[in-house]
Every structure is written in structure tokens, then in C-alpha cells.
């Protein structure tokens, strides 16, 4: 059984990846507020999910050669899907995905620049066995509910970002606008709140924020895996002139970052990032994105929600944890009309379906290429703006990829499904009811319900034989997980 009650189910679809059978015991007796605290205050629970990779009672991973998620992007994708299925901190993984989309960085450009292994390492390296800075996704896990200003500073110095938006070649003789533009347009205040000259000034602010390789670093596939690239501030490449913006830079209202010496020039960037982070439009922009991520994509953001979240964001000095707690306990979140009012991202859909249908002998590797066909290949967003969300996830091609993944999953769980529903499947109606407890769709109208019953009736007179159960339980799981109703969360 994979349902607690409608409120907790809703919370776990939004702040996690749905309810697995194991969650029922954890959440059964919790109030909503208590469950929110449990999800938000995850630091007390161990981040032990990677240690469970390969355990037989978990989803499998495919090992082509050696499983090397620190340096092999396909393995890194497997590890992340596995983490989403099995983490004891689902909100941390959910927020890591939010930040991955917000600071959308794609592997392919990094691989062209630095080779495939270094590119994977820059995105997914978990410090431990190898030397070098943590990968970008580890940064997003670390700051999942951390301070947004601090996260922006980390992102501006993140090796993957320095390559992705060309900061590594931003010098005073030839300022590079790519990062300067996107930190304003996409990461903070957004279109409509800046002018073109702000972009040029921001590019100059970040001159000298470059990259250097470790002594053993070589730009090819066969370099030492311990080699790495890291952020460096090249003082002699920094433009020391004044930089003036159209928005206030400090609390006195000045719009200018005053000239600094080369050696102190790195503080220009800290000053600009701080100004952008505490700009109310950044709060509003994040609030609107959180509305779509946690509350609804079919209702426009309520202005009262946006102002309320922005106020918490600014009062908490850009801390995200109180913002998310505020959102999840707000009346907007608990409004029953908001249940199933979002379109699931492919990662949400795939992980939830595995958690609900089953993972017996199912390798997460089998989700990788279907997810690409659904439009979301992890570590490969289409551009710096992230994935087109909401209804844009859905087209005939991507919907077909979703329903075909449902078939792949149902096929793999055929025997498991038949065995687990057998005691409950005295009649076609009982079989459908049992599956609907396990696979939770948005409410089904009578016509689709009728279609499901007709599908069961086509099996002939119901005996509950192994043959009937094998065929129809898997067929029903495929139809439910592949239904439009299941795509909504």
C-alpha cells in the first residue's frame, strides 16, 4: 500500500517523489506540520543512500565496467536516479533538482572543453576517493536549503559554471558577457528589471574570475583522475574601474561599485552578488518559481503568495530553509484544489512510478534513455534557461515516451505485481481497487474507469489464475502509470 492520506500523499509528491510502501510506516501518524518538519529538517538523518547502492533489496544499477559515478556521466545519472528513489532525505534531492534547473548547466559543453571524465567530475564528483572540488550537483545538495547568496557565490566560482558560461576566459582586455548576463537575467532579478548596460558592467565585475588546472591536469581523456580544475581569481586580469548599474548596489542606495585595487577586486563580484541576492525582484522571481514547483502550474502565482514568500526570503537574509517551510505549511499549499495541479517533470514521473509499481530486479539504467525521450536528460538541460516546464513537458512524442516507460516498468515487475496483488484480486473490480491504492492517479472520471474495467472484462470470466493476474495486473499498471491522470502531481 502506498498511500497515507490525501494530505500527506500530496506533501510527499511535492516535497519528495511520492509515497513508497516503506514511507507508510514513517508518516502514518504524523500531522501535516510534523511531516513538513521531518522533510525540511533532514540534517539529523544520515545521507547514507550512496552506501546502499548495489543492495539486493534496492533498485539495481547497471555496471558496464566499473561503476564510476564520479567520472562517468551515465553512472552519475544512475546514482542520482537511485538517490531520488531511495534517499531518506527526499526534499534534499528535490531541491537539488530545482537548483540544477535554475542554474542549468549541460554536460556536453563541458565534455567538449575538458573531456568526458573531467566533465562528469565537475558535475558529479562526490569528494572522497578522488582529489578536487565537489561536483556541481554536490554543491546543490549541500545548499539545497541553504543560503541563496552564498549559493550564488559558490556557483560563480564553480568550475562547471566557469566553463558553461565562459567565465574562465573573462579578462579585462576582453570582458565576456555570458555569465554576467545570465546571473542577472536568469539566476536573480530577471527580464524587465535590468538594462543592457548592466550586463556589460556585470561582465567587467567578474573579470579575472577564471579557472586553473591542478599541477597534474591535462586536457585529455587519459589524464590522472585525481587532476582537477578549480576557481582562481586572477588579480591582474581584473578591470579595476567603476561599474555602474541601474539598480542599487548597497544599502545606501548607491548604484556604483567603486573602483578597487586589483588585489581587492574580487570583492566587486561579492558586492554585486549580494546586491542581486537581496534585490526584492530576486525574492519574487524565486517565489514564482517555487509556486510552480510546489503549489501549482495551472493557477497563476497568487500575488499574496509571492509577497509573503518574498518577505520571508528577505527577512531571513536569503536563507532558503525558512522559505520552503513557510511554503509547505502555507494555506496555498494545503488547499485541496492544489492537489494534482502540477505537471510532473520526467524525473518525478519516473521515480514516483518506480517507487509505486516496484523496483524488483529493475535497473535504474533502464530509465536513462526513456527520460531523454521524455525531454529530461539529467545533467543535460537544453540551455541555461533550464527545461521548459509545465505543459511544455507534454507533446505526443514525450507522452508516448512516458507511456512506453510505463510498459517497460510494468513488464519488469510482472511477476512481482501478480504475486503482491493476488490475495486482493478476487474480482476485476478488486484488482483495479488494489492497483489504485498503489498507483495514485488524479481522480479518474467514469469513462476512463469504464475503459479499465472493459480491459479487465476482456480477459474472460475472472478466475484469478496466474495467467490472468500476470497479464492484467501488468496491463493495468501500464494503463494507470501511462494515463494522463498519473502525469499530474
Partner 1 sequence: MDLSRRLFIRNGVATVSLGIAAPSFLTAIAEAQGIRTRNLVVVYLGGGNDALNTLISYRDAAYYSRRPSIAVPAGQVLQVGSDAAGQPLGLHPRLGGLLNIFNEGRLALVQRAGYANSSRSHFEAGDIWGTANPQSSTGSGWLGRYLDALPRPLDALAAWNTTAETPRALISGTSGVPAIPNAGTYTYASPNRGAAALQERTAAQTMASNPASGRPHLAFVNSTARGAIETLDRVALATSYTPTVAYPDGGFADALQTVAGAIVRGIGSRVFWLQTGGYDTHAGQGGGGGGAYANLMGALGDGLWAFYSDVRNQGLAGDTTVIVFSEFGRRISENGSAGTDHGAGGLMMVLGGSVRGGLHGTAASLAPGHPTLENNSGDVRYETDFRSVYARLLEQWLGVSSVPILGGDFRAGAPAIF
Number of other residues whose CB lies within 10 A of the CB of residue 277: 23
**Residues 488, 481: contact at Cβ < 8 Å?**
no
Query: Up-side HSE of residue 256: CA atoms within 13 Å toward CB?
Result: 6
Distance CA 83, CA 51 (A): 10
Beta bridge partners of 211: 231
Contacts of 210 (CB under 8 A, 6+ apart): 162, 167, 168, 169, 170, 171, 231, 232, 233, 234, 237
Closest approach, Cβ 30 to partner 1, in A, equals: 30
Closest approach, Cβ 326 to partner 1, in A, equals: 26
102 vs 478 by CB, closer to partner 1? 478
Position among 185, 198, 356, 365 found at the interface with partner 1 (CB under 8 A) = 185
**Residues 369, 42: contact at Cβ < 8 Å?**
no
Residue among 233, 227, 230, 231 at smallest CA distance from 207: 233
382: three-class secondary structure by DSSP:
coil
Q: Record the cell numbers describing residue 339, joined without a space.
A: 492537489
Distance CA 212, CA 157 (A): 11
Position among 5, 31, 169, 429 found at the interface with partner 1 (CB under 8 A) = 169
Q: Which parts of 139-168 interact with partner 1 (CB under 8 A)? A: 165-166
Q: Which parts of 426-465 interact with partner 1 (CB under 8 A)? A: 442, 445, 447-448, 450-452, 454-455, 458-459
Distance CA 176, CA 314 (A): 31
Closest approach, Cβ 176 to partner 1, in A, equals: 6
Q: Record the cell numbers describing residue 166, joined without a space.
A: 565562459
12 vs 401 by CB, closer to partner 1? 401
The region of 131-139, 225-233, 255-263, 380-388 touching partner 1 under the rule CB under 8 A is 380-388
Contacts of 75 (CB under 8 A, 6+ apart): 61, 67, 68, 69, 120
Does 101 participate in binding partner 1 (rule CB under 8 A)? no
Distance CA 468, CA 465 (A): 5
Position among 147, 308, 330, 404 found at the interface with partner 1 (CB under 8 A) = 404
Closest approach, Cβ 239 to partner 1, in A, equals: 11
| E strand residue ranges, 300-373 | none
Distance CA 52, CA 50 (A): 5
Closest approach, Cβ 32 to partner 1, in A, equals: 25
Position among 142, 147, 171, 274 found at the interface with partner 1 (CB under 8 A) = 171
Position among 30, 153, 270, 298 found at the interface with partner 1 (CB under 8 A) = 298
Does 175 participate in binding partner 1 (rule CB under 8 A)? yes
Does 361 participate in binding partner 1 (rule CB under 8 A)? no
Fill in the DSSP letter of residue 343. Answer: B
Does 68 participate in binding partner 1 (rule CB under 8 A)? no
Position among 233, 267, 394, 416 found at the interface with partner 1 (CB under 8 A) = 394
171 vs 334 by CB, closer to partner 1? 171
Does 119 participate in binding partner 1 (rule CB under 8 A)? no
Does 407 participate in binding partner 1 (rule CB under 8 A)? yes
Contact footprint for partner 1 (CB under 8 A): 112, 165-166, 169-171, 173-178, 181, 185, 191, 196, 199, 297-298, 341, 343, 373-375, 382-385, 388, 391-392, 394-401, 403-404, 407-408, 410-411, 414, 442, 445, 447-448, 450-452, 454-455, 458-459, 471-472, 474-475, 477-479, 482-485, 487-488
Amino acid at each position: 500500500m502506498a498511500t497515507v492520506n490525501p494530505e500527506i500523499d500530496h506533501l510527499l509528491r511535492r516535497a519528495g517523489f511520492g509515497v513508497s510502501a516503506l514511507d507508510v510506516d514513517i508518516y502514518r501518524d504524523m500531522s501535516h506540520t510534523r511531516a513538513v518538519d521531518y522533510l525540511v529538517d533532514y540534517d539529523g538523518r544520515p545521507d547514507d543512500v550512496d552506501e546502499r547502492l548495489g543492495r539486493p533489496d534496492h533498485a539495481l544499477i547497471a555496471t558496464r565496467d566499473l561503476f564510476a559515478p564520479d567520472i562517468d556521466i551515465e553512472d552519475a545519472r544512475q546514482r542520482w536516479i537511485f538517490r531520488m528513489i531511495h534517499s531518506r532525505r527526499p526534499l534534499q534531492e528535490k531541491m537539488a533538482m530545482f537548483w540544477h534547473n535554475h542554474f542549468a548547466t549541460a554536460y556536453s559543453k563541458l565534455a567538449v572543453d575538458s573531456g568526458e571524465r573531467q566533465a562528469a567530475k565537475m558535475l558529479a564528483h562526490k569528494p572522497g576517493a578522488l582529489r578536487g572540488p565537489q561536483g556541481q550537483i554536490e554543491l546543490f545538495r549541500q545548499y539545497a536549503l541553504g543560503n541563496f547568496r552564498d549559493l550564488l557565490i559558490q556557483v560563480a566560482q564553480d568550475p562547471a559554471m566557469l566553463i558553461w558560461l565562459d567565465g574562465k576566459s573573462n579578462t579585462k582586455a576582453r570582458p565576456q558577457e555570458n555569465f554576467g548576463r545570465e546571473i542577472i537575467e536568469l539566476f536573480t532579478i530577471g527580464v524587465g528589471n535590468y538594462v543592457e548596460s548592466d550586463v556589460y558592467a556585470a561582465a567587467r565585475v567578474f573579470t579575472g574570475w577564471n579557472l586553473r588546472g591542478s599541477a597534474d591536469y591535462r586536457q585529455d581523456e587519459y589524464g590522472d583522475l585525481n587532476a582537477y580544475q578549480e576557481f582562481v581569481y586572477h588579480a591582474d586580469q581584473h578591470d579595476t574601474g567603476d561599474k555602474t548599474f541601474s539598480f542599487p548596489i548597497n544599502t545606501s542606495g548607491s548604484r556604483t561599485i567603486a573602483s578597487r585595487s586589483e588585489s581587492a577586486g574580487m570583492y566587486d563580484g561579492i558586492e554585486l552578488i549580494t546586491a542581486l541576492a537581496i534585490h526584492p525582484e530576486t525574492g519574487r522571481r524565486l517565489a514564482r518559481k517555487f509556486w510552480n514547483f510546489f503549489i501549482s502550474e495551472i493557477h497563476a502565482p497568487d500575488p499574496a503568495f509571492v509577497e509573503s514568500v518574498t518577505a520571508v526570503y528577505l527577512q531571513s537574509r536569503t536563507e532558503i530553509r525558512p522559505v520552503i517551510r513557510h511554503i509547505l505549511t502555507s494555506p496555498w499549499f494545503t488547499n485541496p484544489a492544489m492537489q494534482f495541479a502540477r505537471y510532473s517533470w520526467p524525473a518525478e514521473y519516473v521515480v514516483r512510478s518506480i517507487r509505486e509499481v516496484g523496483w524488483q530486479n529493475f535497473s535504474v539504467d533502464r530509465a536513462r534513455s526513456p527520460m531523454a525521450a521524455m525531454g529530461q536528460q539529467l545533467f543535460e538541460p537544453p540551455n541555461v534557461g533550464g527545461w521548459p516546464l509545465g505543459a511544455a513537458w507534454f507533446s505526443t512524442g514525450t507522452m508516448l515516451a512516458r507511456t512506453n516507460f510505463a510498459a517497460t516498468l510494468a513488464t519488469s515487475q510482472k511477476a512481482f505485481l501478480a504475486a503482491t496483488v493476488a490475495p486482493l484480486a478476487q474480482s476485476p473490480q478488486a484488482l483495479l481497487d488494489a492497483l489504485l491504492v498503489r498507483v495514485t492517479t488524479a481522480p479518474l472520471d467514469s469513462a476512463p474507469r469504464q475503459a479499465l474495467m472493459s480491459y479487465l472484462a476482456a480477459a474472460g470470466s475472472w478466475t484469478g489464475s496466474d495467467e490472468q493476474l500476470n497479464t492484467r495486473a501488468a496491463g493495468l499498471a501500464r494503463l494507470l502509470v501511462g494515463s494522463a491522470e498519473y502525469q499530474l502531481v
